Amino acid sequence: MIGSQVSSDQSLHERMMDDGMMSISLRAARPRDAAAIADIHTRSWRDAYASILDAAFLAGPIEREHLASWTSRLRQPAPAQSVTVAEDASDQRGGQVGG
């Protein structure tokens, strides 16, 4: 937390609420999360690679490719795979992949 002192025993949730931030929860991704994860993945690619990759490629069917990939990954996860979803009360906001 920038500019704030908090005790080490205060939870992240408590600090977020003290600062007026919305509450975010983390959970393991499920197969039904594939579309939302693919959407976040696609939007982040288009933003991050806009100056690197061809615009026609980024405007292409990468949504379908990401959806197919995430659907497969979440239906049949690799043994060491870990996918975490971050969400607030309204929808998914991000995630993390490990393994």
Task: Establish if 18 belongs to a structural domain.
Answer: no
Residues in contact with 6: Cβ distance below 8 Å, sequence separation at least 6, in sequence order? 15, 18
- C-beta of residue 86 within 8 angstroms of C-beta of residue 93: yes
Specify the number of domains making up the chain: 1
| Pairing between β-strand 82-87 and β-strand 25-28 as defined by DSSP bridges | antiparallel
17 domain residue, yes or no: no
Kindly state the DSSP code that residue 79 receives in the 8-state scheme.
T
pLDDT per residue as tens digits for the range 32-71: 999 999 998 999 999 999 999 999 999 989 999 999 999 9
Kindly state whether residue 43 falls inside one of the protein's structural domains: yes
In a domain, 1, yes or no: no
pTM of the model: 0.69
Domain contains 76: yes
8 Å CB contact between 58 and 49: yes
Give the structural domain span for 82: 23-98
CATH of the domain at 71: 3.40.630.30
The answer as to whether 48 is a domain residue is: yes
